[in-house]
Amino acid sequence: MEIRTVGIVGAGQMGNGLAHVFALSGYDVLLNDISQEALDQGLKTIRKNMDRQVSRNKIAEAARDGALARIRTTLHLKELGATDLVVEAATERETVKAAIFEDLQPHLKPETILTSNTSSISITRLASRTDRPERFMGLHFMNPVPVMQLVELIRGIATDDTSYRTVLGVVESLGKTAASAEDFPAFIVNRILLPMINEAVYTLYEGVGSVQSIDVALKLGAAHPMGPLELADFIGLDTCLAIMNVLYDGLADTKYRPCPLLTKYVEAGWLGRKTGRGFYDYRGEVPVPTR
């Protein structure tokens, strides 16, 4: 199957990045969200990021203008039914994702492939709630999408070879590198990354080190480009907690128990960069540790 049109559900941090890379690679993109404000902000972010690429000679002005012209927006989810490939990039809550696929299902073309950008939720379980589990799979991009090279491809138990090969071809056409993962909680990247972040939060919780010392230690001692707490703020502490809960519930191993301090930050609404406070306070000119 040839993919020409892509429907993206969610215009937030991941969704606008997806629209950016798909449009830049020549696909016609239909971007959906539940509010016009979110769509407008998504388009603003895409233009800003493409302008940055132009200024750094990563892309030509003509490529930017052509890509922007290929992105349309809609508040009506059903309009995505006419696309060849749907990528769901809504919040990391299974009930939300399942409801989106349920609402979209009556409007889909028979051949449309459904994918989820979930970072941890069972692809098999999501697929089972649709009319096309054989044409459903995980398509997990890394954040920020225009910059990060990796895409995890996750087959559900029913995903057929044709759908897998088609989606693999799409990933390659974007200039990305695919890593295939089995459908187990959090797949590959987050199965390894999030327990490390959670352990860093435990290290803070137990008073072994401060926010600053923990991040400096991993940056200088393990050559990580970002410290684990800084990275958690970048990902979003609510997303970190959601993934740890998926691991804990799905694998029933106490080593995946979310740190109580992570839960407390989320309960406070201190979710990281997107809310202005997390393990760092971003409301001033320079981020300041909150603990």
Q: Which two tokens stand for residue 254?
A: 């106490």
- Told to judge if 140 belongs to the known catalytic residues of this protein, a careful annotator would answer yes
- Told to judge if 134 belongs to the known catalytic residues of this protein, a careful annotator would answer no
- Selecting among 119, 120, 122, 163, the annotated active-site residue is 119
- Selecting among 20, 190, 198, 230, the annotated active-site residue is 190
Cα distance between residue 19 and residue 38, in whole Å? 14
- Told to judge if 119 belongs to the known catalytic residues of this protein, a careful annotator would answer yes
Q: Is 281 helix (H, G, I), strand (E, B) or coil?
A: strand
Cα distance between residue 191 and residue 194, in whole Å? 6
Peptide bond preceding 260: is omega within 30 degrees of 0, i.e. cis?
A: no
Contact 173, 151 (CB under 8 A): no
- Selecting among 88, 92, 152, 230, the annotated active-site residue is 152
- Told to judge if 152 belongs to the known catalytic residues of this protein, a careful annotator would answer yes
Cα distance between residue 291 and residue 211, in whole Å? 6
Instruction: Determine phi and psi for 155, rounding to 5 degrees.
Output: -90, 135
Cα distance between residue 198 and residue 261, in whole Å? 10
- Selecting among 140, 163, 198, 230, the annotated active-site residue is 140
Cα distance between residue 233 and residue 265, in whole Å? 11
Q: Of the candidates 110, 117, 160, 158, which has an alpha carbon nearest to the alpha carbon of residue 138?
A: 117
Active site residues: 119, 140, 152, 190
